[in-house]
Amino acid sequence: MNRPASRFLLAAATIAGLLLIVASFVVSDTIARNRALAEAGQRGNVSAELLASALESEHERFRLATLVLAQDADARAVLAGENGQRLDAFNRKLEALSRDMGAAAIYLLDTQGLTLASSNWQRPETFVGQNYGFRSYFREAMRNGHHEQFALGTVSRRPGLYIARQLQSGGRPIGVIVSKVEFDNLEAEWRKAGVTVFATNSNGVILITSNRDWRFKTVQPLSQAIQSKMLRDLDYGTNPLEVLPLYQQGEIGRPDAADITSKKYAEAVKQLTNDWQLHVLTATQDSIRAAVFSSRVSVLASLLALFALGLAMVYLRRSAAFKAERNLAIQQREMSERLVQLNKLAALGQIAAGVGHEINQPLAAISAYTSNAVTFLDRGQTHEARDNLNRVIGLATRIGTITAELLGFARKATGAMTAVSLSNVIEGALLLLRDRIATLNATIQLPKDDALVQAEAVRLEQVLVNLMANALDAGQQGVEINLSIALANGFVELTLADNGPGLSAETRASLFQPFSTTKRDGLGLGLVISRDIMADFGGELIAANPKQGAAFIMRLRPAQ
């Protein structure tokens, strides 16, 4: 693959990878967000249930205490005008009850609203003697039997729930007993628990709250008429009842609403047995952020694992392909080595006949010289005998040179490149082909100079034997073979030219193709193998195009 194409593929793969990550994030973020909100909603509902039941049981305790006090005989006696010890005993009873129950105050009013007895009867701020006839809880209780009102104390200015119940005698009201409950402790507990919670009345005005600044704010806008009534009921002065900014700015939503993901808080609401509602706010954004973060981490981890798996698969496939390629290369190399050997054997077949002749001749001469030597020795002509034996030594050495060359040629190549002298290689090839040269009466013109080239001697000799054998095959009796060495373009060129018929256009076209031969017993491998060997040396074999005959150029790298 060319470079721009692979770069393009890399860029495309990177973009696809990034898109995959973004798409995975979009999907996983949505899932994580919804799950976080569902969990926040659930948490809110559970908190609302628990906090509501705590508030209600607190409320119920005081409601019951007030109900019991409405039947109290001492209370009735006090209302009937008894004072002295009876009044003291009742005051003490209220004091003890208020302390034990944790009420802010418990007190008894007559039909005019005048306080006759009170739990704080001995304190400087005592209600005894105060008239509460103007308070709504008194008037409503006188009218309807009982009433509950959340309001500020007229003296203390502390907010609390007033639970008022009418006392009757003979079906007629004789007074009202009132418990005032303050929720400071409950609010402190809420704050300590870290929950954002508040209770509203039926109009949505915040009465009890974990955040004091929110008291008397509203969760919805109120009409002017309702506002005025509420202000009166709460005894809250003239300050307007403003909507809590969180609600005003729409930062609170129900957990199942579609737009809840953009809200700051999810709201759980629980209806209480009076007409109040308990609201629990659960912060959404932190839970969402944490859920999105952890889901992104797991998405990234999964993608990384997937990527690593892909890489491992690519690696495994590559290494399998690499192995197959290597096996093929090994097979090809083995095959070409076998072909080289085959070509050599074919050459050896031709050479052997000539070499046999080459060896037979000196052997016959050796036999003649040794028998002469024996005769000379018998005659005591030691000088002549020595002369004959010296000739034998010379002939034996010549035979040794020929067989050594033959063995060297037949040997497999080592593959090691060295500096090789061209004249040595030429000499070896001529020795092997000497008999054929002699038979054809061929003339060999040797190069004037020598050159050192980078090659392996045995294989270079094989190339030269192939080329010379082809020239001898092509030439007639008295063929001329011309060997010359030249330097060209930093290469050493050994040219072998003959004066034979040369190469026809057809032969030239398939010259270096395996098994293309014009000879009856030819293999058509010589030139193919010779060219491969030359390429192995970092050189080449070129068929030149001379005017007459054929010429091949062996181009070789000079030895360093």
Residues that bind ligand ADP (CB under 6 A): 466, 470-471, 474, 498, 500, 503, 507, 511, 517-519, 522-527, 550
Give how far Cα 518 sits from Cα of 506, 513, 522, Å: 11, 12, 7
Is the CB of 151 or the CB of 472 nearer to ligand ADP?
Answer: 472
Is the CB of 200 or the CB of 343 nearer to ligand ADP?
Answer: 343
DSSP, residue by residue, 184-211:
HHHHHHHHHHT-EEEEE-TT-BEEEESS
The CB-of-364 to ligand ADP minimum distance in angstroms stands at: 32
- Provide the 3-class DSSP secondary structure of residue 105: strand
Is the CB of 109 or the CB of 468 nearer to ligand ADP?
Answer: 468
The CB-of-548 to ligand ADP minimum distance in angstroms stands at: 11
The CB-of-522 to ligand ADP minimum distance in angstroms stands at: 3
Give how far Cα 201 sits from Cα of 50, 148, 219, 230, 346, Å: 19, 11, 10, 10, 116
| C-beta separation of 140 from 147 below 8 A | yes
Which residue shows structure tokens 């092997």?
A: 432
Which residues touch 463 (CB under 8 Å, ≥6 apart)?
530, 533, 534, 541, 554
φ, ψ of residue 447 to 5 degrees: the values are -65, 155
Q: What is the Cα Rg of the chain in Å?
A: 61
Is the CB of 178 or the CB of 503 nearer to ligand ADP?
Answer: 503
The CB-of-423 to ligand ADP minimum distance in angstroms stands at: 22
| C-beta separation of 146 from 64 below 8 A | no
The C-alpha atoms of residue 453 and residue 558 are separated, in whole angstroms, by 4
User: In the sheet where 196-200 sits, what is the strand order?
Assistant: 206-209, 196-200, 277-283, 265-271, 252-253
The CB-of-455 to ligand ADP minimum distance in angstroms stands at: 19
The CB-of-511 to ligand ADP minimum distance in angstroms stands at: 6
The CB-of-422 to ligand ADP minimum distance in angstroms stands at: 19
Is the CB of 322 or the CB of 515 nearer to ligand ADP?
Answer: 515
SS (H, E, C) 310-371: HHHHHHHHHHHHHHHHHHHHHHHHHHHHHHHHHHHHHHHHHHHHHHHHHHHHHHHHHHHHHH
Is the CB of 108 or the CB of 503 nearer to ligand ADP?
Answer: 503
* H helix or E strand, kind and range, residue 420: strand 418-421
- Provide the 3-class DSSP secondary structure of residue 394: helix
Is the CB of 284 or the CB of 495 nearer to ligand ADP?
Answer: 495
Q: Which residue is nearest to ligand ADP (CB)?
A: 526
Q: How many residues are recorded in the chain?
A: 560
> Which parts of 254-329 are beta strand (E)?
265-271, 277-283
Is the CB of 58 or the CB of 473 nearer to ligand ADP?
Answer: 473
Would you state the structure tokens that stand for residue 396, as one six-digit string? 């034996």
The CB-of-501 to ligand ADP minimum distance in angstroms stands at: 6
C-alpha 400, offset from chain centre: 72
Is the CB of 197 or the CB of 503 nearer to ligand ADP?
Answer: 503
The C-alpha atoms of residue 530 and residue 536 are separated, in whole angstroms, by 10
Give how far Cα 347 sits from Cα of 409, 432, 497, 523, 553, Å: 10, 10, 20, 10, 20
| Helix residue ranges per DSSP H, 411-446 | 422-432, 434-440
The CB-of-369 to ligand ADP minimum distance in angstroms stands at: 39
Number of H helices, E strands in the chain: 14, 17
Is the CB of 524 or the CB of 538 nearer to ligand ADP?
Answer: 524
The C-alpha atoms of residue 406 and residue 420 are separated, in whole angstroms, by 18
The CB-of-473 to ligand ADP minimum distance in angstroms stands at: 7
Is the CB of 250 or the CB of 514 nearer to ligand ADP?
Answer: 514
| C-beta separation of 40 from 294 below 8 A | no
Q: How many CB atoms lie within 10 A of CB 378?
A: 9
The CB-of-526 to ligand ADP minimum distance in angstroms stands at: 3
Is the CB of 105 or the CB of 527 nearer to ligand ADP?
Answer: 527
Is the CB of 64 or the CB of 544 nearer to ligand ADP?
Answer: 544
The CB-of-345 to ligand ADP minimum distance in angstroms stands at: 12
Which residue shows structure tokens 């003239």?
A: 238
The CB-of-472 to ligand ADP minimum distance in angstroms stands at: 9
The CB-of-441 to ligand ADP minimum distance in angstroms stands at: 18
Is the CB of 438 or the CB of 544 nearer to ligand ADP?
Answer: 544
Q: Which residues pair with 484 in a beta bridge?
A: 495
